[in-house]
Amino acid sequence: MQVHHLLEKASKDNPHKNAVWFKDKWYTYFELNKVADSIAYYLVEKKIRRGDRVAILHENSFYYIAAYFGILKAGGVVVGLNTETNSESLSYLLNDSDSKCVITQKKFNRFLISALKKCPNITDLVLTEGEASLYDELADINVETINVIESRKTDALEITTIDIDLSEIVYTSGSTGKPKGVMLTHLNLVSNMRSICKYLRLTEDDRIMVILPFFYIYGKSLLLTHILKGASIVIDNSFVFPNKVLETMKKTEVTGFSGVPSTFMILLNRSSLKDTVLPKLRYVTQAGGSMAPAIQKEVVQAFSPAELFIMYGATEAAPRLSFLDPKFLFSKWGSIGVSVDNVDLLICDSEGNEVPQGEIGEIAARGSNIMKGYWKDPEETSKVLRHGMYFTGDLGRMDEEGFFYVVGRTKDMIKVKGFRVGAKEIEEVILEVDGVHETAVIGVDDPILGEAILALIISKELDWSDETEIRRHLQSRLPPLKIPKYIEFRQSFPKNESGKILKAKLKEEENNKKRESKQNVRKVFS
């Protein structure tokens, strides 16, 4: 089965069922499938062929979903683009993926237009809102609006794809500094969605509140699991106003809610969650980074009687590798649980051998959900796909009852709001500033973000510490998610005998400073 078959089956089985709630309106499965067919037909008309890449730069919406399935119906490969972006990032991703078409909305034209001028492979652009004239200066690109596409008569398409064909390329930050394109097949996604549906006990009666972006694999899994079951999806892009999201959850009677650690910190500390009754809510899921057991306990209490599922995975695993059943939450605090159905999870040494129970090693996995590899990057692929397994880069252990625990990371990555950010990319941009001699970028504990980015800098001149100049340069080169929350100047870094900066020691020092600062504040006010 291919991914687009999930929508086609749901539409055939229950065409008038509410599929998507967006901007105070319900859309049925019939309506969703019909628009997806129109987009697919248009793409085929524009010579999009099996395996061609089509990018989506769009906020979560009914049209995002229709575009996603339309691309797959046409035999194309979806390239979901992060909406927190800039012109430079966009042009890099569009060129790297060799995308031929972009489906977007007018809110992104301020930086998409300049990006497209540097993307010779793009031949077509689809606007879900706004007029085609917005892009008149792009003379070599055909621009069409969704209204025109929907109005055309479509014929049945007979595009042949198989389940080991690519369905999408999901870009995720890598340790090399450049985003890596995770190649996921139809088999990868459908297999993993079935496993997720099984442990969450999803049915067609379920209704998920989606605040996570669909370009993010966690958000994508919420979409696909509910389409698989013919269930319903509620979209709300206003989490900057968390109480509004809670109101929508209550009004639409959602049965499920999902978030990363920062999501729950905001709801616990900056919303009326504790005073809100959500009578239909059946379960809550958390992934996208480690959430401290103390916070887990608060979440359980705040959402009770809804159950909390702790989950673990990676984009490379499409995405889920393990889950902790709520019935074990109180006896296994801090655990990521056991492997999901159809996945083997192991603790291995560098040679792929399982280490004895209780010992620390790297978490590795195998299963039909594991990616095909990194797009155009055999070197990085060989680092994580070896010995017949996917090596996650996370250090872990397994207890005597078969429950897994993450104890650290092997990769120089920072998890901000559930997204992986590569330190090297930020360091390279900082080093472009003339006054910088050396820099080290690390993640420090943050109650809202999970981890916050801290840039430590040694200046060329002792009296130079122009944070404003550094921030201005960073903002011109990087998307907001990758801008350090903190910038500090130092005179030296701890290093090993080969001159490598000891980032683990830096991180420990900085986290200790933060804890001591909090303790001193408490003493002053006690």
What is the structure's pLDDT at 174?
A: 53
Phi/psi at 446 (5° precision):
-145, 125
Share of the chain above pLDDT 90, in %: 76
| Domain termination residue (choose one: 119, 145, 161) | 161
What distance in Å separates the CA atoms of residue 110 and residue 239, rounded to the nearest whole number?
A: 23
Amino acid identity for residue 481 in this structure:
L
Q: Please compute Rg for the chain using Cα positions.
A: 23
DSSP structure string for 329-351: TTTSTT--BEEPTTEEEEEE-TT
Closest CA to 189 of 64, 317, 11: 317
Q: Quick one: pLDDT at residue 408?
A: 73
Contact 369, 345 (CB under 8 A): no
What is residue 525's predicted lDDT score, i.e. its pLDDT? 45
Rounded to whole angstroms, how far apart are CA atoms 206 and 4? 20
273 and 259 Cβ atoms separated by less than 8 Å = no
Instruction: Let me know if residue 147 belongs to a domain.
Output: yes
CATH number, position 495? 3.30.300.30
Residue 112 within a domain = yes
Mean pLDDT is lowest, of 50-64, 172-186, 314-328, 420-434, for 172-186
Domain for residue 341, yes or no?
A: yes
Q: What is the mean pLDDT of the chain?
A: 92
Position 210 in a domain: yes
Residue 320 and residue 53: Cα distance in Å, rounded?
Answer: 25
pLDDT tier for residue 522 given thresholds of 50, 70 and 90: low
Whether residue 249 sits in one domain with residue 112: no
- Asked if residue 405 lies in contact with residue 334, where contact means CB atoms within 8 angstroms, the answer is yes
* 168, part of any domain: no
74 and 104 in one domain?
A: yes
What pLDDT, on the 0 to 100 scale, is given for residue 231?
98
Q: How many CA atoms lie within 13 A of 162 on its CB side?
A: 1
| 123 and 202 inside one domain | no
3-class state of residue 106 by DSSP: helix
pLDDT of residue 292: 79
pLDDT greater than 80 at residue 523: no
Residue 418 in this model has a pLDDT that exceeds 60: yes
Q: How far apart are CA 483 and CA 477, in angstroms?
A: 9
Residue 192, domain extent: 187-409
Q: What is the pLDDT averaged over residues 310-337?
A: 97
pLDDT for 154 equals: 80
83 and 61 housed in the same domain: yes
Residues 378 and 511 reside in one and the same domain: no
Cα gap 57→89, rounded to integer Å: 12
Among 358, 377, 409, the domain-final residue is: 409
Residue 175 has pLDDT above 50, yes or no: no
* Residue 425 pLDDT greater than 60, yes or no: yes
436 or 197, which is more confident?
197
Residues 279 and 397 in one domain: yes
Within 8 A by CB and 6+ apart from 330, the residues are none
From 412, 493, 494, 491, select the one nearest 453 (Cα to Cα): 412
Domain assignment present for 208: yes
Q: Which has the closest alpha carbon to 286: 265, 255, 315?
A: 265
How many Cα atoms occupy the beta-carbon half-sphere of 453 within 13 Å? 29
3-state secondary structure of 79: strand
Collapsing DSSP states into helix, strand and coil, what is residue 1?
coil
Q: How many CB atoms lie within 10 A of CB 23?
A: 9
Quick one: angle between helices 62-73 and 29-45, nearest 10? 50
Least confidently predicted of 56-65, 78-87, 167-176, 388-397: 167-176
pLDDT higher than 90, residue 519:
no
**In this structure, are 447 and 430 located in the same domain?**
yes
pLDDT greater than 80 at residue 500: no
Task: With a cut of 70, say whether residue 496 has pLDDT above it.
Answer: no
- Does 444 have pLDDT greater than 70? yes
**pLDDT tens-digit series, residues 234-284:** 999 999 999 999 999 999 999 999 999 889 989 998 899 999 999 999 999
CATH of residue 226: 3.40.50.12780
Number of structural domains in the chain? 3
109, with CB counted inside 10 A (0-12, 13-18, 19+), is middle
In a domain, 5, yes or no: no
Q: Is residue 451 part of a domain?
A: yes
220, 186, 224: which is closest to 76 by C-alpha? 186
| 426 in the same domain as 388 | no
What pLDDT band is residue 210 in, cutting at 50, 70 and 90? very high
CATH number at 65 reads 3.40.50.980
Residues 419 and 488 in one domain: yes
Start-to-end CA span in the chain (Å)? 63
Mean pLDDT of 207-231: 97
Give the separation between CA 426 and CA 440, rounded to whole angstroms. Answer: 9
Q: Which of 179-193, 389-403, 451-465 is least confident? A: 451-465
Asked if 91 and 203 sit in the same domain, the reply is: no
Q: Are residues 255 and 155 in the same domain?
A: no
pLDDT of 157 strictly over 50: yes
Q: Which residues neighbour 42 within 8 Å (Cβ) at sequence distance 6 or greater?
A: 70, 126, 144, 149, 152
Co-location of 447 and 380 in the same domain = no
Lowest mean pLDDT across 184-198, 358-372, 422-436 = 422-436
